[in-house]
Amino acid sequence: TQRQGATFVENWTDGTAFTDITRQQEMLQRAREELERERRNLLRRRPIYEVKEKPI
C-alpha cells in the first residue's frame, strides 16, 4: 500500500510469470511483423503471369 494524499492506495505489481508472458507476446508479435514484411517483399518480387487459355 502507498499513501496518496490523505488516503492509502494498493499498488500491485505483476509477478515474473506475467512479465515472462508479456515478453513472449512481444517477441511473437515482432516475429509476425517480420514474416508479414518478408511475405510482402516476396509478393512484390514475384512476376505476374498472364493466364492464357489453352487452344482446343
Give 13-50 pLDDT, tens digit per residue: 889 999 999 999 999 999 999 999 999 999 888 777 76
Asked if the structure places residue 54 within a domain, the reply is no
Indicate the number of domains in the chain.
1
Asked if the structure places residue 56 within a domain, the reply is no
d(CA 15, CA 17): 6
Asked if the structure places residue 6 within a domain, the reply is no
* Position 53 pLDDT exceeds 80: no
Q: Which among 13, 17, 19, 14 has a CA at the least distance from the CA of 1?
A: 13
Strand partners, 4: 7
pTM greater than 0.85 (yes/no): no
Asked if the structure places residue 51 within a domain, the reply is no
* Position 1 pLDDT exceeds 70: no
C-alpha 25: how far from its chain's center?
7
Asked if the structure places residue 7 within a domain, the reply is no
Asked if the structure places residue 30 within a domain, the reply is yes
Give the range of the structural domain holding residue 33, as residue numbers without chain letter.
Answer: 12-45
Spell out the residues 6+ positions from residue 18 whose beta carbon is closer than 8 angstroms to its own: none
Give the model's pLDDT for residue 34. Answer: 98
